[in-house]
Structure 1
Amino acid sequence: MKRSELSAELLAAVYKSQVDEVEGAIIYDFLAKREKNPENKKVLKTMGEEETKHAKTWKEITGEDVKPRGFFIFFMKLLSYIFGFTFVLKQMAKSEEKGAASYNELAQKIPLAARMAEEEEQHEEALFKMLDEERLHYVGAMVLGLNDALVELTGAIAGVTFALANTKMVAMTGIITGISATLSMAASNYLAERADGNKNALKSSLYTGIAYLVTVALLVLPYLLLPAHLYAVAFVIMLATVIFIILFFNYYLSVVKDEPFLRRFGEMAIISMSVALLSFVIGILAKNLLGIDA
């Protein structure tokens, strides 16, 4: 089919498909070069080549070269470094689903789009078969460390913030409590995994400990940065940080594990905020009952 035979709306759809294929080819090629697993590398390279072939097919209709979105390419590459290739591939898979739907619509007017729609579906199947990333084997360990740190540290910091009324004192308390809890949690996880016969118990405990320690650092940071008298501001920032961590981590899980985002986010947010509120009340009561004048 020639470009002159297409309506403006259909031509725009072809242009978008061409851009998507060019961007997909670039990203797949990038991931293939970084992937160490030979089978994964081979599949990614093949998929990139097919995307390139599709882009050339669309070019025969548009008669023009298209420019990929530079920021989008950069952003996807950055995500692959931060979250791993599974996260990026899952995002790509969602794009493939949209691409397949778009091709099915175009197939009514352009016959060759039907063939490409079938290939897009094969892409999706190949993607899910190849996903095998080490960090995903330890998501449970990371969830354990993250959840425990959020609940324990949010409660502890909320409880002492207005009792001590000093950001530096609160930070010191949080750091001591957090480091002790990190070591305790990592050791407990190691012993539990060893008891279950897990050969990678040490690595699992490291993931738990790192997740816990990072959470501790983020929650204590506002108290370290703000002046001593701005403890109330630090407390609000800490609560906002808790919500952000929960939002961020649950979005990651919703993508790589195909788990429901809103339900998990709601559960973690309600639990953490409830513990913070209860601990806050306990801290105020303890301050008054013990006659502490901070």
Structure 2
Amino acid sequence: MTQEFSAADLQKALRQQQNEINDFAIYSVLATLQQQDKNKKIFEKIAREEQQHYKFWRGITQRELAPQNWLVMWYVLLVKLLGTSFALKSLEKKECGAEAFYKELFELYPQAKAIYHQEVHHELELIDMLQDKKLLYTGAIVLGMNDALVELTGTLSGIALAFDNTLVVGATGLIMGIAASLSMAGSAYLESKENPLQEISALSYSGYTGVSYLVTTAVLVMPFFVLDAMAAALALMFALALVAIVLYTFYISVAKGLSFTQRVLQMASITFGVALISFFIGYAVKYFLGVEV
């Protein structure tokens, strides 16, 4: 069948064929690692579909291809570290690049239309049905991280103008952050107890909340311990806060299929808006009370 293709189209077909055998191997490995029957059946179903897609391309290219083991292990590792929703939706996004090529084949190979539909719709619907515990706990991570970003950037901005010593600002922020992380963890534990979900452990939920708050605190106060200039420390703190917002929003936008730009702007506006207000409060305290350390 390769006579229907130009040399360039044949290379595209081989790349797509390689993607399909890679995806088949990834989903097959994940199926064997699953303990939940529901997830196992979904992985097996997607693996069978990917295998059929591979056979379709093999019939066109007349070539046998083997999975790229390094890529298979990479996505299995991503699933372990970041959860199934993020890793597998990242994997499926690769298929978007094949959209135009599939459409070129609709008239020549009618089966390509069904495969294309499975790739861009059905498989994502199946992934949405997976029970992803890491995604269930993102609410706890959001709670801890958002509160830390808003409260600590605001607090540090305010006391940075009230106090002229970066170490004093950093130490104050660290003490407040540790206390707040313990308080947040306790509140999250009580909240999850009052609204129990079978899939969520109250202790784990509170742990994710407290740890995410504590880690965010450590990132935000670090500039005040390594830099002597207050302006430089504040600038670095805001830069790190923005990086944290972008990284988290990228994760959640991929995992949940949400708008990346809209969420980044929303989180950044709240965080930096509170910080700006606190900055002026700190200026007022310093000006009217004459506080200077």
Q: Spell out the pairing of 1:120-131 with structure 2 (5 A cutoff).
A: 120=119, 121-129=121-129, 131=130
Letter of the aligned partner of 2:127 in structure 1?
A: L
Query: Where in structure 2 are the equivalents of 1:1-294 lying within 5 Å?
Result: 2-65=1-64, 76-96=75-95, 99=98, 102-117=101-116, 119-120=118-119, 121-129=121-129, 131-196=130-195, 200-224=201-225, 226-227=226-227, 229-294=228-293
Query: Post-superposition shift, 1:3?
Result: 0.9
2-structure distance, mates of 1:282, 1:213: 25
Q: 1:29 to 1:220 in 2, by over 3 A?
A: farther
Task: Output the CA distance in 2 between the equivalents of 1:43 and 1:114.
Answer: 22
| Unpaired segments ≥5 residues, structure 2 | none
Are the aligned partners of 1:96 and 1:124 in contact in 2 as well (CA < 8 Å)? no
> 1:164, 1:59 → 2: CA distance?
69
Amino acid at match of 1:216: T
The two structures have a TM-score, normalised by structure 1, of: 0.84
Q: CA RMSD in A?
A: 2.9
Cα drift, residue 242 of structure 1 = 1.0
Name the amino acid aligned to 2:216. Answer: T
Cα–Cα, structure 1 residues 221 and 71, in superposed 2: closer, same or farther, change >3 Å? farther
2:85, 2:127 within 8 Å by CA — same for their partners in 1?
A: no
CA contact (8 A) 1:150 1:242 kept: yes
Shift in Å at residue 258 of structure 1?
A: 2.5
Q: Relative to structure 2, which stretch is displaced further, 152-161 or 53-62?
A: 53-62
Q: Is the 8 A contact 2:82 2:134 kept in 1?
A: no
CA contact (8 A) 1:10 1:106 kept: no
Partners of 1:214 and 1:30 in 2: how far apart? 33
CA distance 1:268–1:10, shift in 2 (3 Å): same
Q: Contact 2:21–2:54 (CA<8 Å) still a contact in 1?
A: yes
Counterpart amino acid of 1:31? L
Shift in alpha-carbon separation, 1:71–1:169, aligned structure 2, 3 A: farther
CA distance in 1, matches of 2:249, 2:179: 26
Give the residue type in structure 2 aligned to 1:257: K
Distance across 1 between alignment mates of 2:231 and 2:75: 38
* Alpha-carbon distance in structure 2 between the residues aligned to 1:276 and 1:246: 15
The structure-2 alpha-carbon separation of the partners of 1:238 and 1:30, relative to structure 1 and needing over 3 Å to count, comes to farther
Identity %, equivalent residues: 38
Bigger shift: residues 195-204 or 279-288:
195-204
The number of aligned residues is: 290
Letter in 2 for 1:213: L
- Alignment gaps of 5+ in structure 1: none
Structure 2 distance, partners of 1:171, 1:7, is 64
State how far apart, in whole Å, the 2-side matches of 1:112 and 1:160 are. 65
